[in-house]
Structure 1
């Protein structure tokens, strides 16, 4: 049976962008605006718009890497749900950040969005961001979404430069430690930390050795941190582990061969869209998930992990 014609093309099994070569980008961290068709931020698989229900009304949320991909969709859905958003982005992604803020102003005009550009590779950079978050939030932060990440395919360990290994760890896991350590003190009982990991620690992506290692570290870090703080502080810590999701980071870092097989091998038969992951973040950030902590949400199109 064929899917209904009203369903967006991106949700139909076997969908790939019309020209993989056209989608590929040469420079990190990757830009959302050139992707065609654009990743879906708030259009669901039945073709309808996401319907908010005030789940985050009055909350203040930090989203790292909130300008594009999964982070953009999380920022949009959080704003729709009533949260004010401190939207961090890499300085090279200013256009995407401004586009995201403008879109939020259109669909959720009452939401307050603060843009903040920072390369989070160092502890000092993370501490500077913490101070800005404290000023913005009045030293009361309800939700921390650690989403910013980087990757770059390297086929073999002997070709993986030590500089890249350190860079990926600095961005993907060290920044999460620095931000969590210094923002937990201003998070109230009932607060939520959600870290973005990946399917890759559970499958062992052979071309993403460093990235896979950091994402496995995020899973372990999150579970241990939850067990450390949830009873004492009432702050839950969970992880989202996306499978193949169509984002600018993918277009900027994966080979043509990898992109041509990106998604169709899943049980659903296609790559996921950012909104399909962002809805998991909404759930884990809200009181709907009050009995969920130290858990991994596998948003992966049906992979058996």
Structure 2
């Protein structure tokens, strides 16, 4: 298989250039009632997506935007590289980063799914989509899914800064303007509370493992170990430590110019927990607390988020 057509940095740069020539009210388009960025996604790509034939050994990462998918993607790609070398029982001659198609499932061109179907490598597939909008073969062929969730206040805070730093997304004059958009379902990839609610229906599926951004921050060694076990990748202690170190915020930020080009600082801004406390007003806290209680409190994912720990003022 030929090398992946473009690096992530190349794709980001092209999208930013395209966005700078567009009317700001055309940066997003609606598909099946959900908004998406026009420079990365298209209705044609969504229609072609169902041609993807998922495999039982695929590594699927599902996470809402700004919940940590870049971080987890680094971990998963390292695990796949380790798995590939061991499977060949020798030092791999393949460069798995080069062989890998741009991992975000719903972003790219209509031909990417044919290329992915031909890939000889174990595939890492990242998506921000709701479960019902994924290719049916993912569930039919029992691919394993790592579901990443993050406390909604930090998701909103990170999304706000990201939106104002990336020209392919609408920017906001104030945090108050963004908060209204976030709470009124005007965000790319839809409403986060709906995302959590829809994915909660799959939380007990044996092929779905849920991990929170916060628990991985608290204990990255245990988190990586559990993720590797879920996807059937055995790790030596040295390999485990290497994956943890390479996926640290400091390491990824240092390498971001190579991986994400000039936009690296936007993708790797703080990488922490509780940054929401710098933005949320008392009234905004109450509104989000109410939304959480009405939509997902008491559910498996709602409990997993530890809202009382991470989201109470």
* TM-score (structure 2 length as normaliser): 0.33
Q: Which has the higher contact order (CA 8 A, sep 6+)?
A: 2
Higher helix share: 2
